[in-house]
Amino acid sequence: MIGRGLSNGKEMRLLIAGNWKMNGLAASLEEVRALLRGLEGRPAGVEVVVCPPATLVAKVAAEVQGKIGVGGQDCHPKPSGAYTGDVSAEMLRDAGASWTIVGHSERRQYHGETDDLVRSKAEAAWRAGLGVIICIGEIEAERLAGKEEAVVDRQLANSVPDGAATAKTAIAYEPVWAIGTGRTPTNDDIAKMHRHIRKVLVARFGKAGQGIEILYGGSVNPKNAKEILAQPEVGGALVGGASLKAADFLTIVAAAPA
Ligand code: 13P
């Protein structure tokens, strides 16, 4: 692995993923081209992934030609079948994706996704040969009640399959109240939660738990990216709104510690 050293002395590559959510038409490929131009000659210590809507996965994959990663935003647990409107991990892979997000809070909130379902989606992603970004994070009432670690513990225990020890996996800590609001936890609170998640992963997976990237997500923008990415155990970012404009996303990628 290449990239920066972690507290345990292990070298790990930073992962910066853009989640376009339900945004983007064919014209958005211009942003992808601008992103590729801006990334030319960048240091190899950052892995950049774009997760467009499913309709654009094949187009974006054709555009980027493997120079950056392409991911889905969700996948069905089954490889195929009578599930109208759903997209399987195999279909994402076939369209050129190498990653998918699962368990995003917007899926949990608007589609009633449970930890058990999220776990089966993560397993489906690996079955298809995709890396998976599993999202967790508390809602505001849970943080105000001091329950954020308990919530994250439950989500980690139930949404993250045992296979995370060996399959390509990142955890995205996205406090729901920070998504799309312009509000973020303090740097200390981010560091505290990421240390906690690392502890939980190591307790469960042993040494392999050190190698799982822990991304921060929730109102990451060109101004705050540098300090967030510099926090201990922050292994990258999952970026929503600020990933839609190549210039903003490039500034965030450039903010990654060398
Ligand atoms: P914003 O960066 O728009 O807050 O979204 C974060 C997010 O939900 C990424 O998955």
Supply the DSSP string of 177-229, one letter for each residue. GGTTTS----HHHHHHHHHHHHHHHHHHHGGGGGSSEEEEESS--TTTHHHHH
Give the pLDDT of residue 240. 98
Give the pLDDT of residue 11. 55
Total domains, the chain:
1
Q: Work out the burial of residue 35: count CB atoms within 10 Å of its CB; fewer than 13 is exposed, 13-18 middle, 19 or more buried.
A: buried
Which residue in 31, 63, 76, 104 is the catalytic one? 104
Q: Is residue 2 part of a domain?
A: no
| Cα-to-centroid distance, 82 and ligand 1 (Å) | 31
Q: Is residue 172 part of a domain?
A: yes
Give the pLDDT of residue 42. 78
Q: Is 31 one of the catalytic residues?
A: no
- For residue 80, the tally of other CB atoms under 10 A from its CB is 10
User: Mean pLDDT per 10-residue run, the chain (258 residues)?
Assistant: 40 88 98 97 88 98 97 98 98 98 98 98 98 98 98 98 96 98 98 98 97 98 98 98 98 92
Whether 236 lines ligand 1, by a CB cut-off of 6 Å, is no
Q: Is residue 4 part of a domain?
A: no
Q: What is the DSSP string of 45-93?
A: TEEEEEE--GGGHHHHHHHHTTSSEEEES--BSSSSSS-TT--BHHHHH
Whether 137 lines ligand 1, by a CB cut-off of 6 Å, is no
* Nearest ligand 1 atom to alpha carbon 238: 9
Q: Is residue 224 part of a domain?
A: yes
Two tokens at 119? 């776990």
Packed helices 187-205 and 148-159: angle between N→C axes, nearest 10 degrees: 40
| Alpha carbon distance 213, 70 (integer Å) | 17
Q: Is residue 219 part of a domain?
A: yes
Query: Which residue CA neighbors atom 1 of ligand 1 most closely?
Result: 240
Q: Is residue 98 part of a domain?
A: yes
Q: Is 40 one of the catalytic residues?
A: no
Residue type, 252: I
Domain that includes residue 209, residue range: 14-24+46-254
The upper half-sphere exposure of residue 11, i.e. CA atoms within 13 Å in the direction of its Cβ, equals 7
Q: Is residue 34 part of a domain?
A: no
Give the pLDDT of residue 2. 35
Give the pLDDT of residue 12. 66
| Cα-to-centroid distance, 175 and ligand 1 (Å) | 10
Give the pLDDT of residue 86. 98
* Nearest ligand 1 atom to alpha carbon 221: 2
| Cα-to-centroid distance, 172 and ligand 1 (Å) | 11
Q: Give the CATH number of the domain where residue 212 resides.
A: 3.20.20.70
